[in-house]
Amino acid sequence: MHLANLPATMPDFRAHCQPSQREPREIRLSADESHHLVIVNRAAIGDTVVAFDGRGSEWICELADDNRGAALLKVRFAQKARPLPFEITLGQALPKGPHMDAIVRKATELGVARIVPLESERTQIHLDEARSDKKAGKWQTAALEAAKQCGNPWLPEIAPVQKTVVFMESARGFELKLIASLQPGARPLKAVLAAFQSAQGRAPKKVLWLIGPEGDFTPAELSVAKNCGFEPITLGPLVLRCETAAIYALSILSHELQNQN
């Protein structure tokens, strides 16, 4: 979420950590992170490693012990990344197959702050509590892998799976609530953002965007969304697959907000 603040070149190695101290001099990595760093990425003693906690704190380190189950990093210096001047929440209706993993990865790369998986009336996947917890773990892993690859020190919060209408009715604290729509009357994003800018004198800071499943949200869900203050947004004349719609919507929203803030 601090993509504009990244240095021109980054070390090849990144590792997620949760230091027990506020200003650690050494960081001992978990077994999973140690294995990924030492075995998968083949980091060697003396290599530079950026450790990050997913909340904007980073430690530039040197690999001091290449134990594949408990690697040790020696901290050279710490730095704190600035968050983006806006916060995007993605409410994503669960797609079929593995597409949610890809959506989580791309949303992390685009700096999304929060991802809310949704069960809508047309969702073809319905998860019990055990399967929901298992999926949430996979999505967290996908987000972590994407954050490592793109250098994002901020991990998105991944909320529990919720019913779409329940989430719509409980969505609070957003300055702008958007919903991708294939229905007539949906407006272009640029027009909606321009209207907000004209009314408020600034760009929105907290934005929620809902993306539907295959076949879009139902008319009943869209009616609830309208009653809850969501702005229907068109993504153009073509019907996009839900995973394409999510990435396209987040990309253009992020682009517009970066230009306005």
Would strands 114-119 and 157-158 be described as parallel, antiparallel, or unpaired? parallel
H-state helical runs in the chain = 31-35, 99-109, 129-150, 164-170, 189-200, 219-227, 242-260
For domain 3-80, the CATH class is mainly beta
pLDDT at residue 179 in the model: 97
pLDDT in tens, 12-25: 799 999 998 889 99
Residue showing tokens 């050279």: 76
Residues of the chain with CATH 2.40.240.20: 3-80
Residues 33-55: tens digit of each pLDDT: 999 999 999 999 999 999 999 99
What is the reported pLDDT for 6?
43
pLDDT of residue 127: 66
In the chain, CATH 3.40.1280.10 sits at 87-260
- Contact status, residue 151 vs residue 108, Cβ threshold 8 Å: no
What's the pLDDT score for residue 195? 96
Q: Please give the backbone phi and psi of residue 190, each rounded to the nearest 5 degrees, phi first.
A: -55, -40
Residue recorded with tokens 């609830």: 224
- A 10 A CB-CB count for 24 gives 17
Give the DSSP H or E segment for 202.
none
Q: Give residue-wise pLDDT tens across range 177-229.
A: 999 998 888 999 999 999 999 999 999 999 999 999 888 899 999 999 999 99
Residue of higher predicted confidence among 197 and 136:
197
DSSP string, 36-95: IIIIIS---TT-EEEEE-SBSEEEEEEEEE--TTS-EEEEEEEEEPPPPSSEEEEEEEPP
Contact 27, 19 (CB under 8 A): yes
Give per-residue burial for 233-253: e unless 16+ CB within 10 Å, then b.
bbbeeeebebbebbbebbebb
Token pair, residue 177, equals 């609530």
Question: What confidence tens digit (pLDDT) does each residue in 115-135 have?
Answer: 999 999 888 766 666 677 788
Residue 172: CB atoms within 10 A of its CB come to: 7
**pLDDT for the residue numbered 11:** 55
Cβ atoms of 163 and 119 within 8 Å: the answer is yes
Class of 87-260 in CATH: alpha beta
Q: Give the rounded percent of residues in the chain with a pLDDT score beyond 90.
A: 77
pTM, 2 dp = 0.88
State the Cα–Cα distance between residues 239 and 183, nearest whole angstrom: 11
> According to the model, what pLDDT value does residue 217 have?
92
Q: How far is CA 244 from CA 88, 137, 177, 214, 225, in A?
A: 17, 23, 20, 11, 22
Taking each helix axis from N to C end, the angle separating 242-260 and 189-200, rounded to the nearest 10 degrees, works out to 30
- Residue 8, both tokens: 């021109």
